[in-house]
Amino acid sequence: MKFRCHGCGAEIDAGVRLAFACPNAGLGDDIDHVLVADSETLPLSIGNETDPFLRYRQWLSPYRLARSSGLSDSAWFDLVGKLDLALAAVDGSGFRITPMAERIGLAKAIGLSGSLWVKDETHNVSGSHKARHLMGVMLYLRVLEAARLPAGENMKARRLTIASCGNAALAAAVIARAAEWPLDVFIPPDADEAVKARLKELGAAITICERRPGEAGDPCYLRFREAVAAGAIPFGVQGTDNGLAIEGGRTLAFEMAEEFSRVGVVPDALFAQVGGGALASALAQGLAIARANGLLPSLPKLFAVQTAGCAPLARAWERLDGMDLDVPAKKRSQFMWPWETTPTSLAHGILDDETYDWWAIAEGMRASGGSTVVVDESQVATAHKAGRLHTDIVASATGTSGLAGVIAKPEAGRQIAVIFSGVER
């Protein structure tokens, strides 16, 4: 099972070396290093299970690694099944296909003349889509253990680690607890008390990261990088540190594509809220795979939504203007760099100062004819309020901010899709 860096082209065998950061990352060469699994060119079959990690198993690199390493199909069911039972004990339920429905009342409320489809991730494991990303990583670790592959050597002695104080941290803590794997979470001093309490309840070890004098950059992320350098396993959702984390998120796109195909609707546009970029990059990749496998006749236009207070992807997109994407892949800092000012927004979960996984989103927007959309605070607030008033989905303002993009660009298509994620706490 090969992974290839989309920036420098380095190849790794995921059974021999951990498929997380590119081996050439950190050389300071300004290349956008992210490992991506080689796609299967054969038509892939879909199972009839309701757990996406079983249903789409042929589409997932950890499954392909398992099979090519001598594990049977039933061994995969066993790995997924054990984690599923443990997730149910820790968080109430394991992974199941999440609902997507047309929301006529919500479309009307925001003045949309076409149809609006909302995929509801608020009842997913840990209350958001983030757990999908990390389940993909955990299954990879389990396959390495079960097949006794060299990449997994001495792995149980290594702790998992993440820098986050929101949905990603909660997802990591739930999955780590289910897998009985110790987790370190690096959080800022002002992290939400309810999130902190839940992380502790789940057994995660929390480190509060103060800014150190003379230090530039996010202190939580810096401590996370130090922990990884000292041997911890990156268990966050940035593809730059862990390319494999993107993959589990693709299941969201597979589910949407399958449902659209089932109801006979061709989506014109998908609006996705973008922070670090893992979600939109997983959607872009997942939709492309779904299309290649005949689930979609064409790609919906991908619109990446950021707030006016923090829009590093929109800034990069403007600079790309018609350029061959090989150029920015080799000159990252000319397109993507940390946002200079400290932003605030009701949608605080998408204020990442860098869109780490920006390149794959740009590729997805290019391939589909989409673009970035920058929304203002009143659109963020209107989307949140309309989502609460006109649906039964209790999503946070971060999790409804994709809809703010629809409000800003209602002419994007007749069949528009958004994802509501991140239950309001």
Ligand X SMILES: Cc1ncc(COP(=O)(O)O)c(C=O)c1O
For ligand X, the binding residues (CB under 6 A) are 128, 166-168, 237, 273-280, 349-350, 352, 398-399, 421-422
We find the least distance from the C-beta atom of residue 135 to ligand X, in angstroms, to be 15
The least CB distance from residue 231 to ligand X, in Å, is: 26
What span, in angstroms and rounded, lies between the C-alpha atoms of 397 and 404?
10
Q: Which is nearer to ligand X, 128 or 391 (CB)?
A: 128
CB 276 → ligand X: shortest distance, Å?
4
> Cβ closer to ligand X: 276 or 309?
276
Q: How far is the CB of 131 from ligand X (least distance, A)?
A: 11
- DSSP track, 317-379: HHHHTT--THHHHH-GGGT----SS----SSGGG--SS-TTHHHHHHHHHHHT-EEEEE-HHH
- The string of DSSP letters for 8-75 reads T--EEETTTS-SSS-TTTTS-S-----EEEPPP-SPPP--S-SSHHHHTGGG-HHHHHHHHTT--HHH
The neighbouring-strand residues paired with 372 are: 304
Q: What's the rounded Cα separation, in Å, for the pair 315 and 335?
A: 8
For tokens 């003379």, the residue is: 214
Close Cβ partners of 152 (under 8 Å, ≥ 6 residues apart): 141, 144, 145
Residue nearest to ligand X (CB): 422
* Residue 276 or 364 having the CB closest to ligand X: 276
User: Is the CB of 124 or the CB of 382 nearer to ligand X?
Assistant: 124
**Smallest separation (angstroms) from ligand X to the CB of 348:** 9
Choice between 133 and 225, CB closer to ligand X: 133
CB of 346 to ligand X, least distance (A): 13
Nearest to ligand X of 37, 284 (CB atom): 284
